Structure 1
Amino acid sequence: MTDPGIEGTAAAEGPSSPDLFSKFDPLIQQREQLLASGVTDPFNLVMERVESPTVAICNGRRTILLGTYNYMGMTFDPDVVAAGHKALDEFGSGTTGSRVLNGTYGGHKAVEQALCDFYAMDHAMVFSTGYQANLGIISTIAGKEDYIVLDIDSHASIYDGCALGNAQIVPFRHNDVEALEKRLKRIPEDAGKLVVLEGVYSMLGDVAPLKEMVAVSKAAGAMVLVDEAHSMGFIGEHGRGVAEAQGVIDDVDFIIGTFSKSVGTVGGFCVSNHPKFEILRLVCRPYVFTASLPPSVVATAATSIRKLMDSADKRAHLWENSKRLHAGLRQLGFTLGTDEPQSAIIAVIMPDLETGAAMWEALLQEGLYVNLARPPATPAGMTLLRCSLCALHSEEQVGEILGMFAAAGRATGCIS
């Protein structure tokens, strides 16, 4: 016998609620069509073993890595690995607490001091990820009544930081100094203003004209935050990034960075000379309300950062790799994201997602891993293959890479 109470409840519910996943249906369909064509899932590649910063075993075969952010090759540095082992033995696997409670160990203060020394700045604040660094700093210093002026191609973590703080967002055309100046002039003079820029933009690998943009921002009374995630370690005389290379590092209020690229581990940070900076430790929600980094991670980061201070030879070799790969790909007939190499990132533009996926698969079969990037992560709706060079790629490996691009490009019809 049916329970009348249950029947009555069901009847009262009315029509079923909409599927909350419905908004993803176009992407689900696109992914299913891509996999149905026989392509390996480009967004779910498994590395069975990593042998070095430049080589891994993928699908059972030796594969050159050209799609990591391991720019300075620090992941297997013996001193870095040893520091991690030592901290793991002495302090255990994690802190199980926030930095403002029980989550600050000696290693956390040591890595913040290493950052202060690296950047020659007074203050450093470490987050559990680079994403959280942008999320936390931006949302805390710019609130509802303030304005954030940002490059339209800014990273998702920057946009999310703006949303979390509920600031007024004013985007401007990518790397356009005049557009930035016009936006700033439209903002009330007495309003709080933060200009957010990136040193190197991660999709095309192009560099921002920071010298001009910082000057325009300061003339308008704005504070300036620069995300140097993709430039720390190798751009600039001391590896401090594009702001250093263009001579404006002392005019920038905040520099955001990450440990997951040149430093070779995980975590994020902000450095600054602002005299009131330390109060952020008590008011920044993504810092206060999350567990701190494990002792082994901060130990590896501190060791790596201090070694990066003395890495001029590695920086020079990385630039040589970038120049050689960029020139070689252009000579083969590929369309690239920049006319000249500007960073360790070289973007190879594809005509569409299907061609890009086929080219990605062909390169993987050749023994080369790159990133397949698609909208909305990419600018202007483009599909591209993103190559991220490492200071430990040998001259021979760069030659191998060019040979693989030539073979895969001809097999897929991307080049003649």
Structure 2
Amino acid sequence: MPDSPETVAPERDLFSKFDALIAEREALLATGVRDPFAIVMDKVTSPTQAVIRGKDTILLGTYNYMGMTFDPDVVAAGKKALDEFGSGTTGSRVLNGTYDPHKDCEAALREFYGTEHAMVFSTGYQANLGIISTLAGKGEYIILDADSHASIYDGCSLGNAEIVRFRHNSVEDLDRRLGRLPKEPGKLVVLEGVYSMLGDIAPLPEMVAVAKKHGAMVLVDEAHGMGFFGPNGRGVYEEQGVEKDVDFVVGTFSKSVGTVGGFCVSNHPKFDVMRLVCRPYVFTASLPPSVVATAATSIRKLMHAGDKRAHLWRNSKRLHGGLKDLGFKLGTETPQSAIIAVILEDQQQAVLMWQALLEGGLYVNMARPPATPAGTFLLRCSLCAEHSAEQVETILGMFEAAGKAVGVIA
């Protein structure tokens, strides 16, 4: 038998491309700061309170916009479905994975959005991944905002369409780029109602008008708009009056609905064929019945949540105004959504500010590139309809103390 060849470690392996990031993280943690991306919730006691490292902490970074996670009716619906249908389906929606709660959840979505069709995915990420990659194929075009969410970009990557980006929220650049494309191929313009990093909203009437002028279909992601924009809480596209001109609305259950999952709603007469051709829908297990039961109950309650929406907007205006008065640099000049971004100079300042807030009893998200625009480091606050007015004042006091301690404000 010949001797086995000696194993030689390659100079570079498949992890080598991450070496710079690994070194950056190790250098940061060596300074004694905590890892902003490794937080564990020891216990969650309400939509706005948790215990982190043994300390009572106000939650201001959870996307739990409407505070539905502890709603008694929502929790009861999940428990009932768990008892009646078990813990999971173990199958795809097109095989054995469609239970009565899945159909009821899609019915709740049709009621909420006033559409003919609704399709539930296992995550919001998969909803964008599946719908975008399936709609636009080889020889067709996807036109998207440069600041689009990762799930939108990944949906583009999964498909074979040509990808065209336009400058963030620029109607003129969208018009110009659409005008350069050949007229014959199909086109899909992908927009977001609320952009999750800075909390700014899209000028949908102008953008949708431009898309239609050039013969493109329009998809709007309302992940961060569902629940509190518009008379019925459908999102920015309802608030801005373009419901009849938007072809597809994608959303998630992991924000205002308070659970997990994703969806797409539409009035297109051929939409149901997506259940047969959309790979991230066909080739994955469906959501547990208990999850879609909680989602259906939550969605139906959001249809009558006008008081909660009004309170959330009061919270957003107070926090935005208070932080601005303290001297913080914010992502938007005025409050545009339930997301308020506090802009910091660099990663070190962002981490120190984040840690000072956490030690003071407040959890927010720290965000950095590539999740944010190049060179932008920020703390992202996401308000909840269950935050009391008193909690908002407490939060402002925490920001003032941390900002002064770190040197972000005078």
Aligned-partner residue type, residue 144 of structure 2: L
Q: What residue in structure 1 maps to residue 102 of structure 2?
A: 108
- Per the normalisation by structure 2, the TM-score is 0.99
Matched, 1:395 2:407: no
The match for 1:122 is 116
Taking the aligned partners of 1:204 and 1:285, their CA distance within structure 2 comes to 32
- Cα separation, 1, equivalents of 2:11 and 2:211: 48
Aligned twin of 2:337: 343
Q: Deviations over 1:44-86 (max 9, x none)?
A: 1011000000000001010000000100000000000000000
C-alpha change, 1:354 and 1:87, in structure 2 (3 Å) is same
| Matched positions, count | 410
Q: Which residue of the partner structure matches residue 368 of structure 1?
A: 362
- TM-fit CA distance, 1:15: 7.5
Matched, 1:313 2:307: yes
**How big is each residue's C-alpha offset from its partner over 1:189-216, in whole Å with a ceiling of 9 and x where there is no partner?**
0011000000000000000000100000
In structure 1, what is the Cα distance between the partners aligned to 2:228 and 2:47? 16
Amino acid of the residue matched to residue 59 of structure 1?
R
**Partner of residue 406, structure 1:** 400
Give the secondary-structure state (helix, strand or coil) at the position aligned to 1:231.
coil
Q: What is the alpha-carbon distance in structure 2 between the residues aligned to residue 15 and residue 252 of structure 1?
A: 54
Q: Which residue of 2 aligns with 1:296?
A: 290
**What does 1:189-204 correspond to in 2, within 5 Å?**
189-204=183-198
Task: Tell whether 2:40 aligns with 1:42.
Answer: no
TM-score computed with the length of structure 1 as normaliser? 0.97
User: Partner letter of residue 390 of structure 1?
Assistant: C
Residue 267 of structure 1: aligned partner? 261
CA–CA separation in structure 2 for the residues paired with 1:231 and 1:173: 21
1:5 aligns with 2:34: no
Structure 2 counterpart of 1:83: 77
Shift of 1:17: 6.5
**d(CA) in 1 for partners of 2:408, 2:138:** 48
Q: Which residue of 2 aligns with 1:177?
A: 171
Q: Which residue of 2 aligns with 1:154?
A: 148
Q: Deviations over 1:272-310 (max 9, x none)?
A: 000000000000000000000000000000000000000
1:210-260, CA deviations, whole angstroms, 9 ceiling, x for partnerless residues? 010000000100000000000000011110000000000111000000000
Q: Give deviations 1:83-139, integer Å, cap 9, x for gaps.
A: 000000010000000000000000000000000000000000000000000000000
Residue 135 (structure 2) pairs with residue 141 (structure 1): yes
- Specify every segment of 5 or more residues in structure 1 that has no aligned partner in the other structure, as ranges: none
Q: Distance in 2 between matches of 1:356 and 1:318?
A: 26
> What secondary structure sits across from 2:250 in the alignment?
strand
Take 1:381 and 1:279, find their aligned partners in 2: how far apart are those partners?
A: 42
Matched, 1:205 2:199: yes
Cα separation, 2, equivalents of 1:175 and 1:330: 23
Alignment partners' CA distance in 1, 2:153 and 2:160: 11
Q: Which runs of 5+ in 2 are unaligned?
A: none
Equivalent residue, structure 2, for 1:72: 66
Distance 1:389 1:380 in 2: 25
